[in-house]
Amino acid sequence: MFTHLLRTYPVTIAITVLAVLSHTSAALTGAFELDFGLVAGGQVWRLISGHWTHFDASHLCWDLLMFVVLSAMCERRCGQKSAWGYAVTIAASLLFISAAIRITCPEIATYRGLSGIDTGLFGWLVVDHSRQSWRSSNRLAAVVAATGLLALIGKLIFEAATGNTLFVDSSTFTPLVQSHLAGLAGGIAASTIHALGRQSIPPINESIKSPIAQRRPAS
């Protein structure tokens, strides 16, 4: 069973393990957290690894719970044959979020948390589900998915207006709605690219024609 899970969700499991391990050791947390000063000194891996570090157990639990659920759903949609593609998409999204934080919040020296990518994965799912439902003429499902996206936008507006997170106790860190907005933008972009990739692959019955079917009847 574990082998099946590992084959189906390799990226989700890898990041989950890294997040848990990094939280068990202050040395690992310090080695992985996104410290922009150290990034400027050449430690560029922190632009990705910083996202799987967290400030406390509550921060880790909420972020990781959402990540496992959302990432597993997205990774399953991509399929086992696209595991590398999914890994590259996640890495690119993390880099984009890190860049957005640096550009929009230059005063921030360090950053931790999966909340940005969580927001992106949620955006990916609802946009993809809404698009597929609309194409299959399931208008109700499309509206429900769109409502989920509106609810997410409402959450981001609340966080921007109050400076607090909706679910996690943010008393030990400063929440950055900019990372969530960047994650959402990246998630919508990833969903669109994924959809275009599906459309570019012709159906089997069109791309592979039997030689027998191509023969003309003898006259």
Does residue 36 form part of some domain? yes
Tell me the pTM: 0.81
CB atoms within 10 A of CB 93: 24
Please list the rounded mean pLDDT of every run of 10 residues in the chain (219 residues): 86 96 95 97 97 93 95 87 86 96 94 94 91 87 88 86 71 79 91 75 43 44
> Using an 8 Å Cβ cutoff, are 188 and 127 in contact?
yes
Whether 152 is covered by a domain: the verdict is yes
Rounded Cα distance, 32 and 14, in Å? 15
Q: Is residue 82 part of a domain?
A: yes
Q: Is residue 214 part of a domain?
A: no
Host domain of residue 117: 2-200
Domain contains 209: no
Q: What is the pLDDT of residue 167?
A: 67
Q: What is the pLDDT of residue 79?
A: 77
Q: What is the pLDDT of residue 212?
A: 42
| Tally of structural domains, the chain | 1
Residue 183 CB contacts under 8 Å (≥ 6 apart), including other chains: 93, 97, 115, 116, 117, 118, 119, 120, 123
CATH number at residue 100: 1.20.1540.10
3-state secondary structure of 54: coil
pLDDT value at position 169?
A: 65
The beta-carbon contacts of 62-65 under 8 Å, at least 24 apart in sequence, are 62/167, 62/168, 63/19, 63/113, 63/114, 63/115, 63/118, 63/168, 64/16, 64/19, 64/20, 64/114
Domain contains 210: no
